[in-house]
Amino acid sequence: MSRTLPTRYAVSEAIIQLDDVCKTYQSPAGAIEGLRHVSLDVQPGEFACVQGHSGSGKSTLLLTIGGMQRPSSGRVSVANQDIYQLSRRKRSNYRASHVGFVFQLFHLLPYLNVRENVQLGSHESRMSRERAQELLVRFGLGERGRQRPTTLSAGERQRVALARALMGQPVVILADEPTGNLDRENTDEVLRALSEYCQQGGTVVLVTHGEEALPYTDRRIVIDKGTLHEVKS
């Protein structure tokens, strides 16, 4: 059974807060509502899964939370910062220091080696090489640092992308179909790593059309035509 999320779902200490957020796109056929009056709170340490079919608004939701897509109306806060009140430069800096991203298509730079790709996740040059190597070792890629991403399997590339997301020690990770190109073994490995990040105090919002993530998550939300519905177990 599901219900539409209320105006304020949880307490004010939420790490992510959306208040009556709408996103409308203009098309030759007229206005398209990507998000419809979305209000959502996500707590520190929570692993939230947002499920929806293609075109349901799940990627729009993630990009809006991540500060990459300004809503048409409403308020978006991450770590008590109204991110769309910041200038573009300050929002970019804030996003780099507070939010990690993991995408289905990895988005690794082919002209950089594996370790250099991981280092892109931090603007701090000091000790970045050492931290990148520590993360690669953690994900079983300690010997792959000098290789190009194109030499890795899909599962290995996604682990590199996850290491990059963790590089800057963000408070939030936003994951868009992070296991969509992976087999079952690599899917479980990535989801376990995200779950561990939450157990250590981080927060994850993962969007997907499937159900593979559900055993690892604390909360299931369905999005349909830009509207959120909380699913109670």
Average pLDDT of the residues in 205-216: 91
Query: What is the biggest distance separating any 2 CA atoms in the chain, rounded to whole angstroms?
Result: 53
Q: Is residue 55 part of a domain?
A: yes
Give the range among 6-20, 78-92, 144-158, 164-178 with minimum mean pLDDT. 6-20
The answer, yes or no, to whether residue 51 has pLDDT greater than 50, is: yes
CATH code of the domain in which 199 resides: 3.40.50.300
The pLDDT tens digits of the residues spanning 220-233 come to 999 999 999 887 65
For residue 110, count other CB atoms closer than 10 A to its CB. Answer: 9
Q: Is residue 145 part of a domain?
A: yes
Q: Is residue 73 part of a domain?
A: no
Q: At what angle do helices 154-167 and 128-138 cross, to 10 degrees?
A: 140
How far apart CA 71 and CA 65 sit, in angstroms, is 10
Q: Is residue 14 part of a domain?
A: no
The answer, yes or no, to whether residue 41 has pLDDT greater than 60, is: yes
Q: Residue 118 is part of which domain span?
A: 45-68+81-231
Average pLDDT of the residues in 35-49: 94
Q: Is residue 33 part of a domain?
A: no
Q: Is residue 38 part of a domain?
A: no
Q: Is residue 167 part of a domain?
A: yes
At 123, the pLDDT band (50, 70, 90 cuts) reads: low
* Global confidence as pTM: 0.85
The answer, yes or no, to whether residue 94 has pLDDT greater than 50, is: yes
Average pLDDT of the residues in 188-212: 91
How far apart CA 195 and CA 52 sit, in angstroms, is 21
How far apart CA 23 and CA 64 sit, in angstroms, is 9
The answer, yes or no, to whether residue 12 has pLDDT greater than 80, is: no
Who contacts 116 (Cβ-Cβ below 8 Å, separation ≥6)? 109
Q: Is residue 142 part of a domain?
A: yes
pLDDT of residue 210: 87
The answer, yes or no, to whether residue 10 has pLDDT greater than 70, is: no
Nearest partner of 161 among 48, 123, 152, judged by Cα: 152
Average pLDDT of the residues in 18-41: 89
Average pLDDT of the residues in 173-194: 87
The domain tally of the chain equals 1
